[in-house]
Amino acid sequence: MKQILQNLRNGILEIAELPCPPVRPGHLLIQTTRTLISAGTERMLVEFGKAGLIAKARSQPDKVRQVLDKIRTDGLLPTLEAVFNRLDEPLPLGYCNAGRVLEVGAGVTGYSPGDRVASNGPHAEIVCVPKNLCAKIPEGVDDEAAAFTVLSSIGLQGIRLVQPAMGERIVVFGLGLIGLVTVQLLRASGCDVLGVDVNAERLRTAEGYGARTASAGEGGDPVAAAGAWTEGRGVDGVIVTASAKTDEIMHQAAQMCRKRGRIVLVGVVGLNLRRADFYDKELTFQVSCSYGAGRYDESYEQAGQDYPLGYVRWTEQRNFEAVLGAMRSGGLKVADLITHRYALADAAAAYQIVSDDRSALGVVLEYPAEVRRETRLVSRQAATSPAGKAVIGVIGAGNFSKMTMMPALAKAGIHVSHVADLNAAAARHLANKFNVPQAVTDYKLVLDDERVNGVMIAVGHNIHARFVCESLAAGKHVFVEKPLAMNVNEVLQVLDAHAKRPDLQVMVGFNRRFSPHSTRMRELLANRGEPLAVNMTVNAGFIPPEHWVQDPVRGGGRIIGEGCHFIDLLMSLAGSPVRTVSAAMMGAGTATREDKMSITLGFEDGSVGTVNYFANGSKTYPKELLEVFSQGRVLHLDNFRRMTGYGFKGFSRFKTARQDKGHEREFLLFAERIAEGGTPLIPLAEIVNVTLASFAAMTAAAESRTIVLSQEYADVYARLSGLAE
């Protein structure tokens, strides 16, 4: 299938050939018939992509501050690599889609193949969209009009926030596509409307919808026009749908309003607000978030959990339905807003019009009736892998694969045969960037390929254990980015799967034990005659409570999802498994308590360790600090860049040119084990021990008790003993 992508680094637009997405649970697979280019939003994205690095930096000062913080902690070269990797991502364009349902995912009701639907799918021949971001197109509304549904819902949401009553006088400031739709919907609601813009043609269009108009161009005074329109009383509300950098629009909006008037911002304008404007009249001001309640809420959008209608009347989906209803009844007409139509193959010309012609409004893309539905994209002939070498299939093309795994595999010269991801653009991008022959959207194509002897998994935490089991059943050695599992049942499933294929490697991405710093530490501590005392401080950084990592179902929380790294590091230094776990988390008064935790570990050899995992520190402070106390000696490791020894004969400092957390060595050793065989890089019993210790930390913190792992998880230890026998 074909999809429109933009390279953020250079602004180049591409009609890319991609593998077709498969249908997913809770989603609809839709063949697109029409999409609408959002002249405002997409023009800004295209212009950002074409801008130079300095212009990009000036437009995003917050991002620049983040980059400077990262330079201080991680160094210049890793930071630059991260920045350029981000800019090198392909950006799917578009969010106004109409088409026909091809397949209905598990758990979706009310839709059937062949139904016409509007959705927020991108500019692509086939899209897979969550059910709550779709709405059926009623009879009497053609696909071309339905492509305006999502964009129109943005205007409708602004109207809902301004709460107009019949007979009120509302100003719409900015008469682009959203502004002109907003004018029509306000008129249909019984409001008098004053439209403001600098474009004379758009002013005439608004007048055709029954609005009064005022020019904001040279010689125009929209504030005076609003005053005359209301006989000096001021307007009841203003909806700002303009896109401009100036602060003057908000100043004029405030001046237009009556006392206790309402202002809602739908567009993007300067927001250096003047206090007197709002104080004198007690004005209210609100920024509208996209197209309705549920936006950016993953439980609503991705998991399909609808809000009860009695409590949340207008969700995204219900706004879509309201817009389509207005189209059917004639309250919203969009045909005369279409200024250009292009075939998908001519998308470059369409975007050129959007960028260059300020008179362009509705630019519609038309799609072919026949589409190739192939979930595999072969971009180049696969190189013949020499016998006895690792052939790796990578499942997951997210940040870890993009920023860490794939660059390290390429540097080590490890042969990668597939990149699989539900995000077709991401899979294809990584495959092209690292000369991988196949990009696929169905991971089973990787497992079914007999040439693949190793699988590296970097997907959502909640499906790690399942993918490990499936990979073992397919006869593949398996590496999974942490964690191994989310609960005890999943651990038992992995043990059962491995029991059937004990000849295969199961490896979890506990990379820090493979760092040259960790290796040097173990060498220095090799001849110790007593247990260790180890302290790990992790300045983890803030992640909002609604992020998927914090979700106990999808991410497991940050201790299970990331804290396991540091438990493993301490265990590898002690050379002894964890025996007991106690923990304390921050008390009430913070949004997320579980990522501000102190974990105390007791090891079988008598060593003790503490992991202080804190998400409330400064970004300018090092992320990871490790201290090891042993027989009158101390080792201090700063962010895996500099290690200092105190009291060691012949050793005082060890430094690497850049931060090295052990990823490259870890991947290389895994590939060597696949090719040459040998004992596991990390025995499965140790991996399970670390995993259980992370579970225990959560329980110990919640219940204020010390947990003995062998007692708390007796079933798992019994299973391990059985496997050992």
Within a domain: 113: yes
CB within 8 Å of 450: residues ≥ 6 apart: none
Rounded Cα distance between 3 and 15, Å, is 6
Where is average pLDDT lowest: 63-67, 295-299, 350-354, 504-508? 63-67
Q: Residue 575 has which token pair? A: 């050379």
CB within 8 Å of 105: residues ≥ 6 apart: 23, 24, 25, 26, 27, 28, 29, 128, 131
Where is average pLDDT lowest: 300-314, 369-383, 437-451? 369-383
Q: What helix, strand, coil percent values describe the chain, rounded to 5?
A: 40, 25, 35
- Which residue shows structure tokens 């609601």? 189
Same domain, 465 and 589: no
- pLDDT band (50, 70, 90) for residue 59: low
Average pLDDT value for residue range 152-170: 96
pLDDT > 70: percent of the chain: 92
Q: Residue 524 has which token pair? A: 């220095």
Taking the alpha carbons of 710, 714, 715, 721 in that order, is the dihedral positive or negative?
A: positive
Instruction: Give tens-digit pLDDT for 372-394.
Output: 888 888 866 555 555 678 999 99
In this prediction, residue 375 carries a pLDDT of 85
Average pLDDT value for residue range 533-554: 92
Distances (CA, A) of 81 to 76, 87, 105, 542: 9, 10, 38, 22
Given a cut of 90, is residue 69 above it in pLDDT? no
- Which residue shows structure tokens 């978030």? 289
Average pLDDT value for residue range 293-298: 91
Same domain, 159 and 127: no
- pLDDT band (50, 70, 90) for residue 156: very high
Given a cut of 70, is residue 57 above it in pLDDT? no
Same domain, 497 and 424: yes
Domain that holds residue 340: 2-148+334-366
SS3 683: coil
Within a domain: 308: no
Within a domain: 115: yes
Same domain, 135 and 195: no
| ∠ CA 86-87-89, rounded to 5° | 70
Same domain, 108 and 204: no
Same domain, 606 and 618: yes
In this prediction, residue 589 carries a pLDDT of 84
What's 702's domain CATH number?
A: 3.30.360.10
Rounded Cα distance between 30 and 23, Å, is 9
- pLDDT band (50, 70, 90) for residue 244: confident
In this prediction, residue 387 carries a pLDDT of 64
Same domain, 523 and 439: no
The closest of 84, 123, 104, 89 to 22, measured between CA atoms, is 104
> Which residues partner with 268 through β-bridges?
243
* Cα-Cα end-to-end distance for the chain: 52
Same domain, 277 and 226: yes
In this prediction, residue 252 carries a pLDDT of 96
Instruction: Give tens-digit pLDDT for 589-625.
Output: 888 999 999 999 999 999 999 999 999 999 889 999 9
Q: How many CA atoms lie within 13 A of 369 on its CB side?
A: 0
The closest of 688, 682, 687, 676 to 716, measured between CA atoms, is 688
678 or 64: which leads in pLDDT = 678
Q: What are phi and psi of 116, to 5 degrees?
A: -85, 135
Same domain, 266 and 178: yes
Given a cut of 90, is residue 85 above it in pLDDT? no
Average pLDDT value for residue range 661-689: 94
Give kind and range of the element (H or E) at residue 565: helix 564-574
Same domain, 132 and 24: yes
Select from 287, 322, 348 the last residue of a domain.
287
Q: Which amino acid belongs to residue 439?
A: A
Residue 308 has a CB neighbour count (10 Å cut-off) of 8
Within a domain: 317: no
Rounded Cα distance between 100 and 90, Å, is 26
Rounded Cα distance between 304 and 109, Å, is 11
In this prediction, residue 112 carries a pLDDT of 97
Given a cut of 90, is residue 307 above it in pLDDT? yes
Sheet of 438-440, strand order: 376-378, 438-440, 415-420, 391-395, 454-457, 477-480, 506-508
Select from 479, 511, 543 the last residue of a domain.
511
In this prediction, residue 612 carries a pLDDT of 98
Rounded Cα distance between 639 and 660, Å, is 9
Rounded Cα distance between 568 and 355, Å, is 53
Given a cut of 70, is residue 643 above it in pLDDT? yes
Rounded Cα distance between 72 and 63, Å, is 15
Average pLDDT value for residue range 540-552: 90
What's 16's domain CATH number?
A: 3.90.180.10
Given a cut of 90, is residue 563 above it in pLDDT? yes
CB within 8 Å of 644: residues ≥ 6 apart: 635, 636, 638, 652, 653
Within a domain: 318: no
Distances (CA, A) of 276 to 200, 254, 281: 32, 10, 8
- How much is the mean pLDDT over the chain? 91
Within a domain: 378: no
What's 467's domain CATH number?
A: 3.40.50.720
In this prediction, residue 398 carries a pLDDT of 92
Instruction: Give tens-digit pLDDT for 20-54.
Output: 999 999 999 999 999 999 877 776 666 655 655 55
In this prediction, residue 97 carries a pLDDT of 97
Average pLDDT value for residue range 145-164: 97
Rounded Cα distance between 223 and 215, Å, is 10
372 or 665: which leads in pLDDT = 665
Instruction: Give tens-digit pLDDT for 188-228.
Output: 999 999 999 999 999 999 999 999 999 998 888 999 999 99
Its pTM surpasses 0.85 = yes
In this prediction, residue 385 carries a pLDDT of 56
Rounded Cα distance between 678 and 459, Å, is 27
Average pLDDT value for residue range 429-436: 93
CB within 8 Å of 518: residues ≥ 6 apart: 512, 569, 572, 573, 662
Within a domain: 534: yes
- pLDDT band (50, 70, 90) for residue 56: very low
Same domain, 495 and 405: yes
> Which residues partner with 262 through β-bridges?
237, 284
Q: Residue 706 has which token pair? A: 């010390």
In this prediction, residue 620 carries a pLDDT of 87
In this prediction, residue 358 carries a pLDDT of 79
What's the structural domain count of the chain? 4
Taking the alpha carbons of 670, 676, 677, 681 in that order, is the dihedral positive or negative?
A: negative
Q: Residue 538 has which token pair? A: 């992790």
Select from 455, 480, 511 the last residue of a domain.
511
In this prediction, residue 63 carries a pLDDT of 58
| ∠ CA 630-631-635, rounded to 5° | 35
Q: Which amino acid belongs to residue 157?
A: Q
In this prediction, residue 86 carries a pLDDT of 63
SS3 452: coil
Same domain, 169 and 278: yes
Within a domain: 309: no
